[in-house]
Structure 1
Amino acid sequence: MMFAGGAQAAIAIDGKVDEAQWQQARAYQDFKVTEPYRLEAPPAGTGTTARLLSTPEGIAVAFELEQSSAFARVKPRLERDQDRAADRVNVSIDFDGDGRTAYSFSVDRAGSVQDGVVVNENVLNLDWDTDWSWAVSETATGWQAELLIPWSVATMRGADASTRKINVYFSRTLGSNGERQATPAVATSRGRFVSGFEPIEIAQYRKPLLHFWPYLTAHHDLIDGRTRYNAGVDVFWKPSPTFQLSATVNPDFGQVESDDLVINFDAVETFYSDRRPFFTENQSIFDLTTPDAGRLIHTRRIGGDADDGSGASDIDAALKLNGSVGALGYGLLAASEDGEAGRDFYAARLQYPLRPGLNLGWLGSLVQRPYRDREAQVQALDLSWKPNDRLIVNAQALASFIDQAGRGSDDSGAWLRINWTPSNRWRYELELTHFGDRLDFNDLGFQRRASLNEMEATAVYLHRIEDAASKLGSTRWSAELQARSNDRGDRLPTYLLLGGNLNFRNGDLIYLEASLISDGADDLISRGNGLWQRSGRYDAEVGYSSRRYGDWSLGASIELAPRGLSARPTQEVVLSANWYPSDAFNASFEFGPDRGEDWLIWEGGRNFGRYARRGDFASLGLSWFPGQRHELRLKSEWVAVRGSRGQGYRLQPSGRMAASGQALPDFDVNNFGLQLRYRYLLGPQSDVFLAYSRGGYRRQERDGIGGGALFDDALGLRDADQLLAKIRYRF
């Protein structure tokens, strides 16, 4: 472990690495190519030096980047957290040095940034935005970047000492071909990422912090002609590194960012992430997930649809505490909704390192829903064990306790995941899951399903091509076997998933995926009205993603996926393009038609409809940055699906679908959304927003019509038509 001392004098974050204090900094130069995962020295003309220094204001990081003319300089202006091809640097810091959570900070050559939190070794969540400083500058031979990460960005355990042991990771990405170079040479694709960061001991400083964010919104509804005003305040108080309080009164939790449009006929709801500032701030301690992409805390439940069906709930107030007592980390969350149908939400979290590499955690949540006479409690214990650099073991045991109208419903579950990386070529994973039939953590979490027993075994092989003359840089091949049953003993379909990635040295990528699916019971499609014994089938997908060619980058994919009674697949094509005519303007386009002759959807009870399917999806995004503080964005999406030649089917007690002889009417579903948004950056975490939004959703029965007519109808949808003005300023 190296020691990097502190610098008492302030460093000017101007993008020019010219202060004398940088000579005291720990320097990192041993970068390797990790994406594609070749682990070779970077190509000539792309030398990188990263420096890290502890200061009273925060952790300062500098990058000095060589970039010869052989590698085009790619520097489009981007929105915060927008992931597009660009020359970019990143530093990720595990402030507690225990491999559990890392905070990621990226800045590209144009000064656009990304920030996020990495949990569960390699899962990056970009919903988190925080206050930090950055600057970049061009040089004759490349460019430079400086970052200052305040001590306030995260709570830290054991903060009374004069020094702190942290783990760090540095990387740079070449926008011309997508190549990532990093030190230490770890990658998210390898399973073990955060626990592979390099340890360093730095000087530690204490910096108390108190911020207020009052806000004011004006919302004008162009349909009813009414204007509504709202005001509130967020408070952030951090008197020490070991304690932090976030609170909000009468919060404006309306999303300025619009969600992607989805038409969902499945039994599992669509997951939407949460970008609301109060819920993203220091939320990582509550990020407890399950193997099937579930979450024990899903903050979109708070302020979601009210229990009386009246729409989104208003939130009176919310409070969050984060901190530590010695080695024990804790988090508390409470929120209360307004009105008779309002709910109260509570969650608590503890984390404790039993010894290096072995961590134990507990999470408890309680939701009170008086309108439904329902109280839901969830308890979970989790374990993370990293005995060496090759092996990671994670486990969780959980239980739910539901009381509704005086009737109790309790159940439990558990899962175990073993991740073994014996070499740079091979990685193996074994996962075992059990969810009881009545396990339910959906009141404050996101649960895809209960009643599951599953075994997953995965093997991944990475081949690095040594021949520098080869167009291919590396290939990645994977095989995963999923054997499943529900908790009542019914065998669910078994999956064999095969995948391959072909990474070209110029940055292009071709991916291949195929799934072989056995017959078995589908116990979700009827929403609890019986099992459908599904036949065996397959699906397959091939896709291409290009590097940037001049002003363009392109993508294309074709998928064959069965959606009906038979194995006949629906054919779906997706074409996409990104256009960069200038550094200050970029555009994205996507179009995705799908066609199929066999589409089965649930109509209620044991009744189903079998249709021919025609779907269309299109999106357009335009972003213009007329100045450093100005952003203008247009986002528009259209999704439509049509069902024709419908025939009625009924699910039999035997699990077979039998035709009822009933002809079903043609129908179509149309969904359209448009948002034009202007943002002016007043200062750190302070903005003015002006937004116009319009859109709607409609399902109707009528004879099949063409895609052009459906698109014309979509432009006339007007369930929402509104103007929003918002100002939020930090004091």
Structure 2
Amino acid sequence: MSVLSTAQESPIQTATQMARFEESNLQFELDGNLSESVWQQITPYDGMRVITPDTLAESEYTTETRIFYTERGIYVGVMNHQPTDSLVARMTPRDTRLERDGFVVGIDASGDGRYGYFMRVNLGDSKTDGTILAEKQLNMQWDGPWDARTAVVDGGWSAEFFMPWSMMALPQAAADNRPIGVYTERQVGHLNETWSSPPLPSTANEYISSFRRFNLQDIEPRRQITYYPYVSATHDAVRDDTEMRVGAEIFWRPSTNTQLSASLNPDFGNVESDDVVVNLTAYEVFFPEKRAFFLEGQDVFSTSPRNVSARGPGGPTTMLNTRRIGSSAVFDVPDGISTLATDLSAPSDLLGAAKLTGQNGNLRYGTLVAMEDDMEIRGIDANGESVALQATGRDFLVGRLLYEDASSAGRRSIGWMGTDVSHPDVDASVNGIDVHYFSPNAQWIFDGQVMQSDVNGVTGNGAIADLIYLPQRGRMHRVAAGYHDDKLDLNTLGFLTRNDLMHLDYNYVRDESNVPGLRTRNTSIFWFNQWNSNDDFVRQGVFGTREYTFLNNHTYMASLRYYHRRVDDRLGRGSGDFHVPGRWQFVTEWESNPSQELVYRLKLDADSEVLGEAWTKSLAGVSYRPVDNFSFNADIEYTDREGLMVYRGMAITPNTKLRNGRPS
């Protein structure tokens, strides 16, 4: 079966006119029940096919989807038919992935497969959302101002969605013909299946460009302005110090395709805290952005699929990591002065930030400016006297231009992005050019980027490239390459796990459905080669993994991995490189049907220490979910470790700055 056949098998491919109603004429309550009269005036559609496993078979139950729009936004109502006693509802925090009943609505706001949004509500009203960039780059950091509710009804369950126009970036379009794409997806927990319309399995390259097409008329949302003022007070009992803060965040959309946002004297005290990570490696940990101001409209600043995933060596590679803005200040601590590590690592206060994003035809653009306030902490000198240490705040500037052409089959784009950080001790700028290609036959995807950094007069260069080839659905070849010289420095405003690295990796994935006695069988081979400028391999090996899903939805995985002999040029932290011998690793895992109330799992991991001592880890666990809003997990783990490597060398103090994995 060809790759294109997945989209061609969709029951509706031509654009249809979406029903429109006046908001003032609706008597609508978003409660999950399709009791409003407006739903009865709309003809439902189905077209669901099984995409997990990717058999593309017709769905077992009927799914009736209805959709209409008003001057405020889009409404979606869905009736999910299935036996009531088979419903699986599990309530979790936002953006939690779990086996259960759920429904997804995807919106291609660009109308031609360039960018969009996905929103999912699970039975019980738990939500997941994110943004989409071509072709299927999902960014789940975004939390949008949409809403949805679910309800258990006779013959299954239903859901209602409302997505306001104000949350979407809409390109300029003719008043009588605005194209938009819609995708619907349904997860059926007790079957351990996912269905979608159009049928777009993950084993094919196509996604947002193949959404179901609708035409809309008379959509020109009025200019909207939203603001969030705040007043806060903080009292430090240790220092007997009280601080008052007053500020606001403002979001203004003067037109459908432009948004201006500003944050004045922001207070991010209500932002979700980061997970606690004990990092014993020589590499910096990447933390995702969680502040709403920096998340809104951030996708225009995406330059590569590696920005939000660990496709690259060690983690994301990105020119813009907004977590640098407002991070710990740059203090110069004189000899003989002692300070608290928590003071040195405390976040900087922002004076303000502003961001402009928009679109003009095929050109998308964005700019971001931010200014930090000066910081002051207390230190203790050799005589025990208190001294004041001051740090000047940094100024940040980001610019982005992206030209995208999706007028014919396939898609092509080229973009530029530049960043600048100004500080008395730091003068850093980074520039990059990125190119992207999606072939008309949906078999080839290419993403590439070249970068140059200039930090305090030191220039570095780098390049990354990803090539994906799908000769047919269920088979994927991916080649990833990269070059980062030892002077490349993205970490003043971006994120790079390490420089002085070249890599050439290959990944082959084969997904098979309808194998006799199995639901699915997945095979993966990953071969990686990474070396430094001394031509020393710093990471090299090959992984082979096979995973089975049985007819009863139990799963079994086995992975055999070989790590070739290599050189570690980072863990020594300046005290010297050392060789690491080659080693084998075997990992196997079994789990029972995840849709059941009681789930069992077993895992065995046979590996060895970096310098050779063997160790084996075994785990047995159980999960119990008797009701929707309660879960209990218990694991027993046993580790047989013959030796533990403890590094003794250069001490890393709070004042030691790590840059690209090396002390500076």
Aligned match of 1:134: 148
Aligned match of 2:475: 426
Larger CA deviation: 206-215 vs 544-553: 544-553
Does the aligned pair in 1 maintain the 2:103–2:121 contact within 8 Å?
A: yes
Aligned match of 1:390: 442
Alignment size in residue pairs:
595
Does the aligned pair in 2 maintain the 1:558–1:574 contact within 8 Å?
A: yes
The answer on 1:331 being equivalent to 2:366 is yes
**Aligned counterpart for 1:582 among listed residues 603, 627, 631:** 627
RMSD between superposed Cα atoms in Å: 2.8
Does the aligned pair in 1 maintain the 2:520–2:548 contact within 8 Å?
A: yes
Q: Tell me how far apart the structure 2 counterparts of residues 275 and 135 of structure 1 sit (CA, whole Å).
A: 24
Alignment of 1:540-555 (within 5 A): 540-548=586-594, 550-555=596-601
Aligned match of 2:160: 146
Aligned match of 1:666: none
Aligned match of 1:319: 354
Q: Tell me how far apart the structure 2 counterparts of residues 281 and 556 of structure 1 sit (CA, whole Å).
A: 41
SS in 2 for 1:176: helix
Q: Tell me how far apart the structure 2 counterparts of residues 153 and 179 of structure 1 sit (CA, whole Å).
A: 31
Does the aligned pair in 2 maintain the 1:28–1:183 contact within 8 Å?
A: no
Q: Tell me how far apart the structure 1 counterparts of residues 417 and 65 of structure 2 sit (CA, whole Å).
A: 38
1:192 offset after TM fit, Å? 4.5
Q: Deviations over 1:32-62 (max 9, x none)?
A: 221232322223xx22122333322112222
The answer on 1:359 being equivalent to 2:413 is yes
What amino acid sits opposite 2:56 in the alignment? L
What amino acid sits opposite 1:503 in the alignment? T
Aligned match of 1:486: 532
Q: Tell me how far apart the structure 2 counterparts of residues 557 and 107 of structure 1 sit (CA, whole Å).
A: 32
1:157 offset after TM fit, Å? 2.4
Q: Aligned residues: percent identity? A: 28
**Aligned counterpart for 2:266 among listed residues 251, 256, 260:** 251
Q: Deviations over 1:379-401 (max 9, x none)?
A: 11111111224323333333233
Aligned match of 1:297: 320
Does the aligned pair in 1 maintain the 2:468–2:479 contact within 8 Å?
A: yes
SS in 2 for 1:152: helix
Aligned match of 1:60: 75
Aligned match of 2:548: 502
SS in 1 for 2:536: coil
SS in 2 for 1:41: coil
Aligned match of 1:41: 58
Q: Tell me how far apart the structure 2 counterparts of residues 513 and 219 of structure 1 sit (CA, whole Å).
A: 52
1:305 offset after TM fit, Å? 1.7
Q: Deviations over 1:45-82 (max 9, x none)?
A: x221223333221122221110125x621223332223
What amino acid sits opposite 2:280 in the alignment? F
Aligned match of 1:444: 493
1:343 offset after TM fit, Å? 1.4
**Aligned counterpart for 2:217 among listed residues 195, 203, 216:** 203
What amino acid sits opposite 2:318 in the alignment? R
- With over 3 angstroms needed to count, the CA separation of the structure-2 counterparts of 1:3 and 1:342, relative to structure 1, is same
Alignment of 1:513-532 (within 5 A): 513-532=559-578
SS in 1 for 2:249: strand
1:553 offset after TM fit, Å? 4.0
- With over 3 angstroms needed to count, the CA separation of the structure-2 counterparts of 1:355 and 1:36, relative to structure 1, is closer
SS in 2 for 1:421: strand
Give the strand-richer structure, 1 or 2.
Answer: 1
Does the aligned pair in 1 maintain the 2:303–2:449 contact within 8 Å?
A: no
Larger CA deviation: 523-532 vs 490-499: 523-532
Q: Deviations over 1:686-719 (max 9, x none)?
A: xxxxxxxxxxxxxxxxxxxxxxxxxxxxxxxxxx
Does the aligned pair in 1 maintain the 2:326–2:348 contact within 8 Å?
A: yes
Does the aligned pair in 2 maintain the 1:151–1:206 contact within 8 Å?
A: no
Q: Tell me how far apart the structure 1 counterparts of residues 45 and 492 of structure 2 sit (CA, whole Å).
A: 47
Does the aligned pair in 2 maintain the 1:60–1:148 contact within 8 Å?
A: yes
1:101 offset after TM fit, Å? 3.0
1:221 offset after TM fit, Å? 6.3
1:546 offset after TM fit, Å? 4.2
Aligned match of 2:341: none
Aligned match of 1:285: 300
- With over 3 angstroms needed to count, the CA separation of the structure-2 counterparts of 1:381 and 1:313, relative to structure 1, is same
Q: Deviations over 1:382-427 (max 9, x none)?
A: 11111224323333333233333xxx21121212222111212311
SS in 2 for 1:330: strand
**Aligned counterpart for 2:393 among listed residues 325, 331, 342:** 342
The answer on 1:215 being equivalent to 2:230 is yes
What amino acid sits opposite 1:479 in the alignment? I
Q: Tell me how far apart the structure 2 counterparts of residues 196 and 110 of structure 1 sit (CA, whole Å).
A: 30
Does the aligned pair in 2 maintain the 1:399–1:412 contact within 8 Å?
A: yes
1:116 offset after TM fit, Å? 1.1
Q: Tell me how far apart the structure 2 counterparts of residues 247 and 388 of structure 1 sit (CA, whole Å).
A: 40
Does the aligned pair in 1 maintain the 2:203–2:475 contact within 8 Å?
A: no
Aligned match of 2:662: none
**Aligned counterpart for 1:262 among listed residues 277, 282, 291:** 277
Q: Tell me how far apart the structure 2 counterparts of residues 215 and 571 of structure 1 sit (CA, whole Å).
A: 53
**Structure 1 residue runs without a partner (length 5+):** 609-731
What amino acid sits opposite 2:542 in the alignment? L
What amino acid sits opposite 1:338 in the alignment? D
Does the aligned pair in 2 maintain the 1:563–1:569 contact within 8 Å?
A: yes
Does the aligned pair in 2 maintain the 1:103–1:116 contact within 8 Å?
A: yes
The answer on 1:7 being equivalent to 2:7 is no
Aligned match of 1:401: 453
- With over 3 angstroms needed to count, the CA separation of the structure-2 counterparts of 1:459 and 1:270, relative to structure 1, is same
Aligned match of 2:427: 375
Q: Tell me how far apart the structure 1 counterparts of residues 402 and 295 of structure 2 sit (CA, whole Å).
A: 19
What amino acid sits opposite 2:451 in the alignment? A
SS in 1 for 2:220: coil
Does the aligned pair in 2 maintain the 1:534–1:565 contact within 8 Å?
A: yes
Does the aligned pair in 1 maintain the 2:509–2:524 contact within 8 Å?
A: yes
The answer on 1:460 being equivalent to 2:505 is no
Q: Deviations over 1:599-655 (max 9, x none)?
A: 4454334x99xxxxxxxxxxxxxxxxxxxxxxxxxxxxxxxxxxxxxxxxxxxxxxx
- With over 3 angstroms needed to count, the CA separation of the structure-2 counterparts of 1:438 and 1:160, relative to structure 1, is farther
1:24 offset after TM fit, Å? 6.7
Does the aligned pair in 2 maintain the 1:376–1:402 contact within 8 Å?
A: yes
The answer on 1:194 being equivalent to 2:208 is yes
Does the aligned pair in 2 maintain the 1:37–1:464 contact within 8 Å?
A: yes
- With over 3 angstroms needed to count, the CA separation of the structure-2 counterparts of 1:596 and 1:393, relative to structure 1, is same
Q: Tell me how far apart the structure 1 counterparts of residues 559 and 246 of structure 2 sit (CA, whole Å).
A: 50
1:548 offset after TM fit, Å? 4.2
Larger CA deviation: 248-257 vs 548-557: 548-557
Q: Tell me how far apart the structure 2 counterparts of residues 224 and 553 of structure 1 sit (CA, whole Å).
A: 51
TM-score by length of 2: 0.82
Q: Tell me how far apart the structure 1 counterparts of residues 21 and 393 of structure 2 sit (CA, whole Å).
A: 51
Aligned match of 2:380: none
The answer on 1:597 being equivalent to 2:642 is yes
Write out the 4+ residue segments of structure 1 that deviate beyond 6 Å after TM superposition.
220-227
What amino acid sits opposite 1:424 in the alignment? R
